[in-house]
Amino acid sequence: MHLNDAKLRALVSSTRRAYDENAAVYVRATGTLDLFPGLDHELDRFFDALPGSSVLDLGCGAGRDAEYLIGRGAAVVAADLSAELLRHTRSRCAVDGAVLCDLLALPLAAGVFDGVWACASLVHLPSGAHPRVFSEIHRVLAPGGVTAISLKEGNGEGWARSARMPSPRWFSLRRPEAVVDELAAAGFVSARVLPSGRGSWFVVEARKGLPAEPFVGVGPR
C-alpha cells in the first residue's frame, strides 16, 4: 500500500509513540534469544556471510541481536525510532553508536557498513515504502556488504494489536518473491529467501555488488 508523505509521517509518529510508551513491556517480551527459536542460527548465518565486522542493527528494539552480534565480534551501531529502546540497548551492550532514526531516511553516511541486520522492523511500514528502505540499506552498505531482512509472509496490511503490546501498530505482510524483486530494483546483485524458526517469518539475505557487478540471481528457498 502506498501512503503519501504526510500519512507516512503520521504512521511513523504513532509507531514511535507505541514503542516509547511500551518500551519496558516490549523489552520483557522480546529481550532474550530463548524467546525466538532459531534466531541465534539466523544471526550466525548473517554474521558468517559478512565481508567485515561493521554492522548496523536497523530497528534494534531491545538490543537482543546487537548484544549477540557484539559477542560474535561485530562492531555494532544500533539504530531505532524509539529513544527508550535505544537507551535500553546502550545500557545492555557496548554498541559503537546509537542512532535515533527513521528507516525511510537514514542519517548515516554512504558505503560504511559490512552488514545491515533488519529484524522485524520493516513490518511496521506500508509495503509501498519498502523499496525506499531497501535503497537506504543499499546506500549505507559498503560494496560487497550483506543485509538480512526479516519480514512476515502473507498478503495484506493495516493497523493491528498484538499480544506483545497494547497500542496498535501497522503490520505489512509480504510475498518473499516481491521482496526479492524490489531488492534487485534497489541495486542488490543477489538475493535469497531463507527460512526462519519463527512461524510465518522469513529472511531475505541480499548482497551489494562490487562496482559493475551484474545481478546474479535468486537462490532457492
Ligand X SMILES: C[S@@+](CC[C@H](N)C(=O)[O-])C[C@H]1O[C@@H](n2cnc3c(N)ncnc32)[C@H](O)[C@@H]1O
30 touching ligand X, by CB under 6 A: yes
The phi and psi torsions of 44 (rounded to 5 degrees) equal -65, -45
Is-contact 56 110, C-beta < 8 A? no
60 vs 64: CA distance, rounded Å:
8
19 touching ligand X, by CB under 6 A: yes
* Nearer of residues 125 and 193 to ligand X, judged by Cβ: 125
* Nearer of residues 161 and 219 to ligand X, judged by Cβ: 161
Strands 201-208 and 141-153: antiparallel
Residue of the chain from 89, 121, 172, 196 that contacts ligand X (CB under 6 A): 121
One-character DSSP codes across 63-112: SHHHHHHHHHT-EEEEEES-HHHHHHHHHHS--SEEEE-BTTB--S-TT-
- C-alpha cell of residue 206: 541480499
Residues 6+ apart with CB under 8 A from 13: none
String of contacts with ligand X for each residue 62-91, x by CB under 6 A: x-x---------------xxx--x------
124 touching ligand X, by CB under 6 A: yes
Angle between helices 64-72 and 39-49 (to 10 degrees): 50
Binding segment for ligand X among 95-103, 153-161, 202-210, 213-221 (CB under 6 A)? 95-103
172 touching ligand X, by CB under 6 A: no
* Nearer of residues 77 and 85 to ligand X, judged by Cβ: 85
Binding segment for ligand X among 44-52, 119-127, 184-192, 205-213 (CB under 6 A)? 119-127
Query: Which residues make up the interface to ligand X (CB under 6 A)?
Result: 12, 15, 19, 30, 59-62, 64, 80-82, 85, 101-103, 119-121, 124-125
